[in-house]
Each structure stands twice: as C-alpha cells, then as structure tokens.
Copies of this chain bind each other. A is one copy, B any other.
Amino acid sequence: MITKENISDYLKQLQDNICAAIESTDGAGVFKEDAWQHHSGGGGRTRVIAKGNIIEKGGVNFSAVTGKTSEALQKQLKITSELEFFATGVSIVMHPVNPHVPIIHMNVRYFELSDGTCWFGGGIDLTPHYVVKEQASWFHHQLKNTCDTHHPEFYEKFKIWADNYFYIPHRNETRGIGGIFYDYLKPDTVLSHTQSSFSKEQLFDFMKGVGETFAPTYTHLMKINGEKPFSEQEKEWQYIRRGRYAEFNLVWDRGTKFGLETNGRTESILMSLPPHAEWQYDYQTVPGSEESLTLSNLVKGIDWINQ
C-alpha cells in the first residue's frame, strides 16, 4: 500500500531532480534553499533561482504540511466537521530572461484526510510571451504522450480543465497556451472524466508521469529559445505579459488565494510572481504583429495536437 511518506519522499526526489536539470541547462543560476516549518505542522523546502543565464527568477517548492482543517478548508472540501489533513506537493514557476523562452508552471499534489479520503491533483501549463505554433503543439504532445500511458481520455479532459482554469476573465484571455490540469482524482472511485476507476498506485504513477515530464520538456524549450536575440520592444511585451501573469495569480488562482487567506508561507506562495512586471493603460498591440498574433492564440479550445 502506498503511504503518504512514499509520496512525499518521491516528491522530494522529484524536486532534487528538477532543480539539477534546470541548473545544468541554465549553466549559471544555482538554487538556494529555505527550509521552513508550517505553523500547524510539517513544513517545506523552498528552492529559488535568480539571475541565471536563462532563468531570471524561479522556484521549485516542496512541501508536506499537516494540520486540522480550518473552516475555510472545510467549506471548500464540503466536509462538516474538523479533520486532520496531510498535504504534500511540488510547485514550480519559472520566469525566463529571454522573452522567447516561455514561462512554465507545474504543480503535483496529494491530499489526505483523517477520515481516510485522499486524492491527487496537479498539472503543467505553458505561458509563452510569443506563441510559436510548432512549440505549442510539441509541448501539448509531450503532455498527451504522458497522459495516454495512463488513460486514453486523460489528455482531452485535463486539457479542457486547464483551458478553463488558466483563464483571466477580466481580460477575456487565457494565461497562456494551457496544458493539463486535474484535481480530486480519488483512488478506487469512478472518475466522471473517464468513467473508470484507478487504484492509488495507478494515480501515484500518473503523478510520477506528470512530474517527470516537466524537466525534459522545459529544458528543451530553454535550450532551443534561450540564445535567441531579442529587442527592447520584445522585452517590454514580456513585462506586459508578466503583468497579466501576476493578475491571474493574485486575483484568480485558487491556490494562491487560499494560501494567502489561510496564513500560508507568503514568500513560498508568491515565488510565482515575476521579477519585473509592467502595466500600461489600455495597451494595444499593432495589428498583424507577433504580439497581436500571440493574443489571438490566448483563447480556450485550440486543438494544439492537430495543428
């Protein structure tokens, strides 16, 4: 039987492997670790990288926290009494120097309550400052390949979920080109997404699959884009897009909001924010420009597999 320690031990190893892969590809940036304790029990290892060759600012965070469910959490989970919880996960956001390298986000997490229920959640999504169709399609193929190993419907369902989740209503834009997002995958329960049920081991394997898709996928995108020349105007566009990223995370991201409202570790939660961001009133792209083309791809429902 898979225990919560098995999962958190695996996630620590995943954090180590991802940090090593990013450092090796970056060639200059080195992760610094802050180990911390959570006020209710457990803690984490926040690892941040800054001023690298390719990564301007990023974090790869591991946490394994225990505590009693707060009222807010009980409401969110639709449970009526206080229970003990255990939550572990790895969260990543990378903000690159070069506007031709996309921002990436990954999260894989596992949650367990003292009444015996447990579930997995997670996802990977990409936020290019400039959408390159071949790369967007390649990125989605990597996710689809991983998903297909576990269930033929995972990719399609979790791609739609990502489109809906990583969406900025007040801008009527998606945050980026999406990816996959999933939550509440409970072992031995018929999932509405697939009409199938999965053992805890199968869902843990899926978590591993997603986690291990991250490093080869993102380091590839770092390598093929990291040396591209860029103009001041392209850097400015990157700042504008980072502003939108900050808007999504601070206004709409449920995880960020929940963390900030429940006295989580602020610096670990907000490591997702960009190093520099910019807001200009009513910024408009030039029709026909690369920026305008990118905007036209920040919509839900694009089939990136059959491009």
Contact = CB atoms under 8 A, between A and B. Distances in A.
B50 A281 contact: yes
A281 to B, nearest CB: 4
A48, A171, A273 interface centre (most CB from chain B within 10 Å): A273
B279 A274 contact: yes
A57 B243 CA distance: 15
A305 interface: no
B273 A276 contact: no
Contacts of A266: 170-171
Contacts of A274: 279
Contacts of A269: 170
Contact of A260 (B239, B251, B267, B281): B251
Nearest to A58: B281
Interface residues of A, number: 31
Nearest to A59: B281
Contacts of A243: 273
A45 to B, nearest CB: 14
Interface string A267-295: 10111011111111110000000000000
Given A171-B266, A250-B250, A260-B251, A239 B271 contact: no
A112 interface: no
Interface string A34-73: 1000000000000010100000010100000000000000
Contacts of A50: 280-281
Contacts of A277: 246, 276-279
Nearest to A48: B281
Given A273-B279, A276-B276, 11 more contacts: A57-B280, A170-B266, A171-B266, A243-B273, A246-B246, A246-B277, A250-B250, A250-B251, A251-B260, A275-B278, A276-B277
A36 to B, nearest CB: 10
List the 5 closest pairs (A to B, CB-CB), nearest first: A250-B250, A273-B279, A170-B260, A48-B281, A170-B266
Contacts of A169: 260
A3 B273 CA distance: 46
A57 B275 contact: no
Contacts of A26: none
14 contacts: A48-B282, A57-B279, A57-B280, A170-B260, A170-B266, A239-B276, A250-B250, A251-B251, A267-B281, A274-B279, A275-B278, A275-B280, A276-B277, A277-B278
